[in-house]
Amino acid sequence: MRNKSPAFQFYPKDWLTSDEVTMMSNEERGEYITLLCYDWINNGISEDMYDGCSEKVQRCFNRRGVKYYNKRLVNERKKQRAWRDKCSDAGKKSADLKKRSKQQGDSSKVSLTKVATVVDVYLQLNVNIAVCICSLRITSLILKDSKDLLFQLRDLELVELLITLMQQNNEKQKPLTDSQYRKWTNDMRLMRERDGHTHDEIAKVIAWSQTDGFWKENILSTKKLRGQFAVLWAKAKNAEPPKDEYIPGGNIYKEFK
């Protein structure tokens, strides 16, 4: 039998409260547990073993082909086989993912093209390019799934815009963890796709909020940005752009006016 398990689950309470076991003598119980062990090891018991046990014990086994099987052990084998298959499939998927990731990493032409695209986007936004080039987190997130490249770039550039302006306002601003970075990127996607805000509208609100004396102290995450977007947009859409020197990276605010 493939991947034969050396053990099966034994539940003392189920054993002691079983109707079949309750009706057995101590000798029959010993006989029964011994046959269960043989059943598990040999995938069933022989006809000689079956014929040699008491009638009460025989009622716990069913014939299938030339052997006798305990119904509970049959179900236990199925559960263990399903669990092994599930673990095996998960392992194969993990190995395949690592292999594809390595292949993507080895494909310098594709990788450099994507990174160049990221830099080009940020050049258009006048955001600090050093942040973009040094952020391996951005690159790995983009390279994870090439079919979503354009979608991810739009959201990543908004995340980087907010991070850059926040860091400009507070040099002690803590960097995001990987999980936070992915959460912020997804929030930007939801703002565009679910809330119906355009990329330019979100960028303008970010730039305005990080120059306003009150809001730059309160909009410190994409969750807050999304929750207060309606209020921020009402103020930002008609507001006069502040002086360029107050905008980290250049004329970001004016570009989205």
pLDDT tens for 4-62 read 778 888 888 888 888 889 999 999 999 999 999 999 999 899 999 999 999 999 999 99
Q: How many domains in the chain?
A: 2
Residue at a domain's end among 104, 119, 137:
104
| 174 and 77 assigned to the same domain | no
- Selected residue with higher pLDDT from 8 and 105: 8
Cβ pair 211, 217 in contact under 8 A: no
| 185 and 236 assigned to the same domain | yes
% of the chain with per-residue pLDDT over 90: 29
Q: What is the pTM of this model?
A: 0.42
| 75 and 132 assigned to the same domain | no
Domain hosting 16: range is 12-104
* Residue 93 falls inside a structural domain: yes
Residue at a domain's end among 56, 80, 104:
104
Tens digits of residue pLDDT in 210-243: 988 899 899 999 999 999 999 999 988 887 655 5
